[in-house]
Structure 1
Amino acid sequence: MRYLVTGASGGFGGYALDWLLKIAPDDDIVGLVRNPDKAGDVESKGAEARIGDYSDIDSLTRSFEGIDRLLFVSGAPGNRQQEHTNVVEAAKKCGISFIAYTSFAHADLVHNMLSEDHVFTEAKIVQSGIAHTFLRNNWYLENETTLLKHALETGQLVYMAGEATVGWALKREYAEAAARVLIAGNQPKVMELSANPTRYSELAQALEAATGKAIDAVDMDETQFAEALRDEVPEPAIQGMIGTQQLIAHGDLEVQSSDFALALGHSLVGLEDAVKELVRSRHLL
């Protein structure tokens, strides 16, 4: 059985590759990288490196030869639907028997700026006839790095989401779940990977407990939120953060599910410890 992880030199793919190397024979593991200069990063870990670009179906077809199971890490927004189509078509052509795809929380139930491409890709995988599990990832705690850094500098965790909840977990935990599902190959077709639903006010409490710094949770309107971040964050990034806050406020990340622990085979890190790990790894203090 041979396994391939796409985006193996990236954050998520790199974590997943690390986990696969812990739980499967090194000779069975392949990491796909777009940049040939990154091949050494994969090979230094003990996996085989192959070069392939989502925009180049021929490179994908070459890279997928001899692969049984594929961990398909979603690409960056832009031309994602065509690029994802290339991945699925190459997988079909090469006889890949199983795809684990990193999708979005409740992808088939919500309609937002992030879900459309994932709905499209899920449909492509279903149409291909390849056995699959859609890993509907909720929200990486790392996505909140800017807000947490701002909170530690100002004493205020600012947000626009009201009482809406998010299923925050560390990226490495989502990646471990993906690696374990890839190895198992017999999980449900859809897994909603979400930690316990948590409000921003509770995230502020976790940050305070993790760091010993007094943190107030401050729910703002759009104008106030943008103004609070303007000195630290470029305007386009602020607008992206506002869009994210709006979809959270709408309830798009409010998920109740036990699938995460099922995929991992163990419980998730508690929120305070997860925040402490993030603060330390990102040098926020």
Structure 2
Amino acid sequence: MTYLVTGATGGLGGYVLGYLRNLVPSSQIVALARSRSKAADLEKDGIAVRVGDYSDAASLRKAFEGVDRMLFISGAPGNREAEHANVVDAAKAEGVSFIAYTSFANAGNVDNMLSSDHQFTEDLIERSGIAHTFLRNNWYLENEETLLRLALESGELDFSAGDATVGWALKREYAEAAAQVLAGLKASPSILELSGPAHTYRQLAQALSRASGKSIEARDLDGTHFVQAMGAAGIPEAGAKGILGIQELIKAGDLELQSQDFEAVLGHSLTAFDEAVKEVLHL
């Protein structure tokens, strides 16, 4: 059996490889990287590396030769639909028997700036006929690091998501779940909604207060004032508007999903919220 992890030099892929090595022999693991130089450390650790780029269909076909099970980590936004089509087409052509794909929470039932590419890719995989599990990841707590660090400096956690909830969890926890599914030691359903316990940004501010020992006030701002606050904190306007876009989809309820799938896959509880905040900030 050969297990391939795409995006192996990224943060999520690196975590996955670490967990996967405890589940299957390292000799059966293959890491996909865009260049051999980027994956030099993996080769030193005894992981076989194949070079392939989502934009280069021929390179993917060569990289997927002899692969049985694959973790398909979604690419960066931009030309994602065409690139993801290359991945699925190459997997089908080379006889990959199973794909675990990192998707978006409740994909197919929400419509936002992040979900459409994932809806497209899920449909591609379904039509390919390849057995699969869609890992519908909710939201990495690490994605909030900028807001959390600004809050530590100012004493105020600024947000614009109202009372909507998010199923935050740590990136390594999503990676552990992905490794479990990829290893295939037990059957997985075609869809796993990987969402942690629901928390609001006000609860995030409270957790930060407890984790840091500092008093952190939660400030729910409208979009204009949120962007202004980010600008005053030194965030470029484009970056501030990007963060606001995420806040708006959260406010719309697109991450308000409760599911028991996450802990069922892991076989243990997720990290307690306060401890997870500490881990993200290295407190």
TM-score, normalised relative to structure 1: 0.97
- Contact 1:9–1:41 (CA under 8 A) maintained in structure 2: no
Greater shift in the superposed pair: 72-81 or 256-265: 256-265
Per-residue CA distance 1:71-116 (angstroms, 9 max, x = gap): 0000000000000000000000110000000000001100000000
Tell me the secondary structure at the aligned position of residue 219 of structure 2: strand
**Alignment partners' CA distance in 2, 1:208 and 1:3:** 42
Q: How far did residue 266 of structure 1 move?
A: 1.1
Deviations 1:108-147 (A, max 9, x none): 1000000000000000000000000000000000100110
The aligned counterpart of 2:72 is 72
**Which SS does the other structure have where 1:210 is aligned?**
helix
In the alignment, which residue of structure 2 is the partner of 1:196?
197
1:27 alignment counterpart: 27
Is the CA contact (8 Å cut-off) linking 1:39 and 1:51 kept in structure 2?
no
TM-aligned CA deviation for residue 244 of structure 1: 0.4
CA contact (8 A) 1:177 1:264 kept: yes
Unpaired stretches in structure 1, ≥5 consecutive residues: none
Tell me the SS of whatever aligns to 1:22: coil
Q: How does 1:25-64 map to 2 (within 5 A)?
A: 25-64=25-64
1:207 corresponds to which residue?
A: 208
Which residue identity does 1:216 align to in structure 2? Answer: E
In structure 2, the residue matched to 1:90 is: 90
Which whole-Å deviations, capped at 9, do the CAs of 1:197-235 have from their partners, x for residues lacking one?
100011111111111111011100111111111032111
Distance 2:268 2:243 in 1: 32
Task: Trace 1:119-198 onto structure 2 (pairs within 5 A).
Answer: 119-184=119-184, 186-198=187-199
Stretches of structure 2 that go unaligned for 5 or more consecutive residues are: none
Is 1:276–2:278 an aligned residue pair? yes
- After alignment, is 66-75 or 36-45 more displaced? 36-45
Stretch deviating more after TM superposition (223-232 or 211-220): 223-232
- The CA distance in 1 between the partners of 2:53 and 2:34, in whole Å, is 5
SS of corresponding position for 1:99: strand
In 2, the alpha carbon distance for the partners of 1:232 and 1:140 equals: 23
Matched residue type, 1:11: G
Question: Match of 1:171, as an amino acid?
Answer: K
CA distance in 2, matches of 1:101, 1:68: 14
2:6 alignment counterpart: 6
- Equivalent residue for 1:220? 221
In structure 2, the partner of 1:255 is: 257
**Aligned-partner SS, 2:178:** helix
d(CA) in 2 for partners of 1:159 and 1:223?
11
Identity value in percent? 59
Once the two structures are TM-superposed, the CA of residue 52 in structure 1 deviates from its matched residue by: 0.3
The one-letter code of the counterpart of 2:88 is: V
The count of corresponding residues between Structure 1 and Structure 2 is 281
- The one of 225, 241, 245 equivalent to 2:247 is 245
2 CA distance for matches of 1:73 and 1:62? 18
Secondary structure at the aligned position of 1:134 is classed as strand
228, 238, 242: which is aligned to 1:236? Answer: 238
Q: What amino acid sits opposite 1:198 in the alignment?
A: H
Q: Distance in 2 between matches of 1:259 and 1:139?
A: 15
Q: Find the aligned partners of 1:258 and 1:232 in 2 and give their Cα distance.
A: 39
Asked whether the equivalents of residues 21 and 47 of structure 1 are also in contact (C-alpha less than 8 Å), the reply is no
Q: One-letter code of the match for 1:75?
A: G
